Amino acid sequence: MTPVRSSAPLPAEPSAPPTADLRPRLERALAAWLPWQRWFGGKGRPVDGVDVEQTTELVDRRASGGPLGLLVVASVRFADGGPAERYQVPIGVRSTLPDQLAPAVLAGFDGCVVYDATGDAELNSVLLQLIGQRARRGDLSFTPEPSFTGSSRRGLVGRPIGAEQSNTSIVYADRYILKLYRRVAAGLNPDLEAHRALRRARSRHIATLLGAVEGSVDGAPATFGMLQAFAANAAEGWAMAMTSVRDLFGDTAAPPTDAGADFAAEARRLGGAVAAVHADLARELGTDVVDARSLSDGMTAHLESALAVVPELAPHADRLRAAFAAVASVPGGMPGRATGGLPGGVPSRVPVQRVHGDLHLGQALRTPSTWLLIDFEGEPAAPIAERVALQSPLRDIAGMLRSLDYAAQHQLRLFNPAPELRRRARQWTTHNRSAFIAGYAEVAGFDPTGPLLTAFELEKAVYETVYETRNRPDWVDIPLRAVRRLVGQEADDDR
If one counts every other C-beta atom within 10 angstroms of the C-beta of residue 175, the result is: 14
Residue 398 near residue 453 (C-beta atoms within 8 A)? yes
Q: What share of the chain is helix, strand, coil (3-state, %, to 5)?
A: 45, 20, 35
Helix (H, G, I), strand (E, B) or coil at 95: coil
Taking Cα atoms as reference points, which of 142, 160, 139 lies closest to residue 73?
A: 139
Task: Give the model confidence (pLDDT) of 228-281 as tens digits.
Answer: 999 999 999 999 999 999 988 887 666 777 666 789 999 999 999 999 999 999
Task: Give the model confidence (pLDDT) of 272-298 as tens digits.
Answer: 999 999 999 999 999 999 999 999 999
Mean pLDDT for 52-66 is 94
Task: Give the model confidence (pLDDT) of 2-33 as tens digits.
Answer: 333 333 334 333 344 344 477 899 999 999 99
CA 196 from centre of chain? 17
Domain boundaries, the chain: 23-229, 235-354+390-494
Mean pLDDT for 192-212 is 97
**pLDDT over threshold 70, residue 131:** yes
d(CA 20, CA 158): 29
pLDDT at residue 313, rounded to an integer: 97
pLDDT at residue 150, rounded to an integer: 60
How far, in Å, are 10, 302, 404, 440, 479 from residue 263 at the CA level?
48, 33, 10, 15, 22
Question: What kind of fold does domain 235-354+390-494 have according to CATH?
Answer: Aminoglycoside 3'-phosphotransferase; Chain: A, domain 2 (3.90.1200)
**pLDDT over threshold 80, residue 305:** yes
Mean pLDDT for 194-212 is 97
Mean pLDDT for 450-458 is 96
d(CA 115, CA 102): 8
Residue 77 near residue 84 (C-beta atoms within 8 A)? yes
**What is the arrangement of strands in the sheet containing 168-172, beginning at the earlier edge strand?**
136-137, 140-144, 209-217, 220-229, 176-180, 168-172, 158-160
Residue 385 near residue 447 (C-beta atoms within 8 A)? no
Residue 186 near residue 217 (C-beta atoms within 8 A)? yes
d(CA 296, CA 292): 6
Task: Give the model confidence (pLDDT) of 323-344 as tens digits.
Answer: 999 999 876 545 545 444 333 3
